[in-house]
Homo-oligomer: A and B are copies of this chain.
Amino acid sequence: MISIEQALKIVEQQEIERKTSDVDLDDSHGFYLSEKISSPFDLPSFDNSAMDGYAVSGIYDYYEIVGEIAAGDTSEKSLQSGEAMRIFTGAKIPSNTTAVVMQERTNEEDSVLHVDERISEGQHIRRQGNELALGETVFAPGHLISPASVGLIGSLGLNRVTVFKKPDVRIISTGNELIPPGESKSEGQIYESNSYALQSALNRFGFECREKTHIKDDFSAVKSGIAEYLDRSDVLLLSGGISVGDYDFVKQALEENGVTQLFYKIFQKPGKPLYFGRKENKFVFALPGNPASSLTCFYIHVLPLLQRFSGAAETGLQRLSIPISHEFEYGSERPIFLKAHVDNQTVSILNRQSSSMIHSMAMGNALVFFDGPKSVPEGEIVEVILI
């Protein structure tokens, strides 16, 4: 049994061979850049107006209006002292412009502009290169392409980007007692739902489950199922069949498929019987069968591997330090992830925390982490992981 930190470190230290791919900017959201992006020009590329209004030359109360510059107008224009030109947001300012005056602060009559404010030199002018200079690094490799990143990359004129490919993920669930949702259930059977929850969790974080299947607890079926899926996957998730009674079974099926164990069992609650293994550039997690354990292991341990495989510079979910809304006592030495709900101000730990219970997880949006026994009063800052 290893600690949570050791488990995270083992995942973090895996050398991964990654592939890259060119994608359209429209499809790039959620990928991680595989190459540095530098600015191909100054941004903005020319001094331009930050407002709809007038470009004026010199500082006066009145100006003679000598023309108009539309956004996109590329001709060279020039002002003499005392002259003004109507200008729109983003349009290139004429040479000899002292400042831009907002339309709302002016009156126009018979081609004479009256200004109602004290003009400061340079006001409402966006200077060339003010956001980014030619050649400046915009994003380093490993940067997550967010909506704002897409906007910036587009404004640099790039319509394709080179990103790391995401892993091909497949899921195998095992267990004789499990039947798929939608079928009718006999006494003693339970519905197999973990593979559905895992598939949704993959989707939620921008990954895809290429295929999934259910296999009965038959050694040769499990072994050949693993062989088949492992062959075409980068990451294989096994759901169920890894607690004490099943461990030898699954471990042997993995071993006979050439998978080397990297860890088994983490000193944590829920999700103690988590298995992590590797074969060449392929990775296997065998997740515990309890629904809350399975998803907790996904959020804490599987997701960082998927993100690292995808080239992420930073992995894991957002962690925060937030005051708890009620006193809480936790007695065990085993570090615990508790289902919780974060509102605008505080975090509350929810009822029904058992490893088998997923209702509280579905009503929550966070996990509270305690690294051992703790007695916290209301208002104490606790460690929160947003899920």
Q: Give chain A's interface residues, CB within 8 Å of chain B.
A: 25-26, 28-30, 44-46, 50-52, 70-75, 88-92, 103-104, 126, 130-132, 138-139, 145-160, 175-178, 180-183, 185-194, 196-201, 203-204, 217, 243-246, 289-292, 294-295, 298, 318-322, 342, 344-345, 352, 354-359, 361-362, 364-365, 383, 386
Contacts and interface: CB of A to CB of B under 8 A. Distances in A.
B177 A72 contact: yes
A156 B191 contact: yes
21 contacts: A25-B196, A50-B354, A70-B177, A71-B177, A75-B188, A89-B289, A90-B175, A90-B289, A92-B187, A131-B354, A139-B362, A147-B197, A147-B298, A148-B358, A151-B193, A154-B192, A155-B358, A159-B182, A160-B182, A318-B386, A321-B344
A318 B384 CA distance: 14
A272 B185 CA distance: 57
Contacts of A318: 342, 365, 386
A176 B320 contact: no
Complex copy number for this chain: 2
Nearest to A245: B52
A200 B152 contact: no
A318 B341 CA distance: 11
B177 A159 contact: no
Contacts of A190: 44-45, 90, 155
A54 to B, nearest CB: 11
Contacts of A176: 70-72
Given A89-B289, A245-B88, A187 B46 contact: yes
Given A46-B188, A244-B52, A200 B150 contact: yes
B147 A204 contact: yes
A186 B26 contact: no
Nearest to A29: B200
Contacts of A188: 46, 72-75, 91-92
A323 to B, nearest CB: 9
A51 B44 CA distance: 64
Contact of A243 (B89, B150, B180, B183): B89
In order of increasing CB-CB distance, the 4 nearest A-B pairs are A72-B177, A154-B193, A151-B197, A74-B188
A197 B320 contact: no
